[in-house]
Amino acid sequence: MTLVLDTTSTHLPFDIARIRRDFPILKREVAPGVPLVYLDNAATSQRPVQVIASITRYYRDHNANIHRGVHTLSVESTDMYEGERAKIAQFINAPDAREIIFTRNTTESINLVAHAWGRKFLQAGDEVVLSEIEHHSNIVPWQMLRDERGIVLRFIPMLPDGTLDLDEARRLIGPKTKLLSVTAMSNALGSIVPLTDLIAMAKAEGATVLVDGAQSVPHMAVDVQALGIDFLAFSGHKMLGPNGIGVLWGRLDLLDAMDPFMGGGDMILTVTLDRSTWADVPAKFEAGTPDISGAIGLGVAVDYLAALGMDAIRKHEIEITDYALRRLADVPGLSIFGRPNAQERGGVISFELEGIHPHDVGQVLDTHGVAIRTGHHCAQPVMAALNVPATARASFYLYNTTEEVDALVDALEQTNAFFGTGR
């Protein structure tokens, strides 16, 4: 049964049909007569033709290595690559394009901070505050640094509804806290983290703040100056951009004070057989030939998002998520993890179907063309806190429609029937 809501595609904040025409993959079938319903956007987004074409165009018309080249193609490639840096700075309201460091992904961006900032500024006994809902990429680098340097890790606990325990955060963040490193949104549950409160607590103690923006930068307006943070990490592939390109934004004074992460070409000023000196930021942190076409593709992705407007994208996701929460509530045996209200979460819904393993749910949904993710979502501590081995997760983006939510619900009802649950 389909609910009649005023959130049908035609009422959504932009023209979904037009947007979907930009994403050729959304027209494909996963088997004859079985159209794809792509609901795995928290893992990676799809790419519009504009991004795909920009990469082809770059290799077809401009390809050359960047920086120091005197020939036309090298100058063009350098200008394109550096131009994207400025565009991305504007997208997150960074005051200076030199603060944008191109990395491979969020994981590399966080590792860069752990190596280059952590090894320089943290000593044994210093405390780094994380949360229980972090992706492994914001836990493991700090554990590695703890084992090497003797820093102390503190974790803000998750409450049963998937939000963070702010009273406990207030207790944990104190004079020994040198870094608060938290996600803006849980990829496993969709919980939106109250960054303003946490940042205020950390800043009152003089701590540095890193935000893992892997799930926020693609889905809502993020302003690093308004947030008052020091580092922001995010990945191109979750925001319509290519794989293999990510961003670390850092405050210029901090980046200037840090030593390099990797050594090699492009990050030096001088090299003798005896010693080397470093280039200025951002080159200091971009050793070797970077992913030039990736940066160009990411720039086009940012243009695409900016043209739609991040507030409109967020509004669309709230509407889709609200519709999905209401429809899923009617599926027999289904329970949803996290907050019940779409305003308090991102477009991510983790759920379980009683008596059916999430992997089996995912496999049956795939036979209906519905692509979701099942497993621990690289957030094993969240699974441990929920006391489940895995969840099934549907996640939405700007091109998803209420009809696709209906397809998910129908496929879940078929899953119940397939397993003969009698529901």
* Site for ligand PLP, rule CB under 6 A: 105-107, 135, 137-138, 183, 187, 212, 214-215, 235, 378
Which residues on adjacent β-strands are paired with residue 210?
181, 231
Q: Give the shortest CB-31-to-ligand PLP separation in angstroms.
A: 27
**What token pair was written down for 244?**
């293999």
Q: How buried is 18 (Cβ within 10 angstroms: 0-12 exposed, 13-18 middle, 19+ buried)? A: exposed
How far, in Å, CA of 82 to CA of 361, rounded? 45
Concatenated DSSP letters of 107-134: HHHHHHIIIIIIHHH--TT-EEEEETT-
Q: Which is nearer to ligand PLP, 191 or 293 (CB)?
A: 191
Q: Give the shortest CB-187-to-ligand PLP separation in angstroms.
A: 3
How far, in Å, CA of 3 to CA of 329, rounded? 11
Q: Give the shortest CB-137-to-ligand PLP separation in angstroms.
A: 4
* Ramachandran sector of residue 269 (left: φ over 0; alpha: ψ -120 to 50; beta: rest): alpha
Q: Which is nearer to ligand PLP, 46 or 107 (CB)?
A: 107
How far, in Å, CA of 6 to CA of 149, rounded? 56
Q: Which is nearer to ligand PLP, 48 or 244 (CB)?
A: 244
How far, in Å, CA of 156 to CA of 177, rounded? 13
Q: How far is CA 332 from the centre of its chain?
A: 32
Query: What Cα–Cα distance (Å) separates residue 50 from each residue in 14, 43, 102, 302?
Result: 18, 21, 21, 11
Interacting residues of 104 by C-beta distance below 8 A, sequence separation 6+: 244, 245, 246, 291
Q: Which is nearer to ligand PLP, 131 or 402 (CB)?
A: 131
Q: Which is nearer to ligand PLP, 106 or 293 (CB)?
A: 106
How far, in Å, CA of 245 to CA of 238, rounded? 10
Q: Give the shortest CB-378-to-ligand PLP separation in angstroms.
A: 6
Known active-site residue 113: no
Q: Give the shortest CB-286-to-ligand PLP separation in angstroms.
A: 17
Catalytic-role residue among 378, 380, 383, 421: 378
Say whether 14 sits in a helix, a strand or coil: coil
Q: Give the shortest CB-174-to-ligand PLP separation in angstroms.
A: 25
**What token pair was written down for 324?**
């999905």
Residue positions annotated with a catalytic role? 378
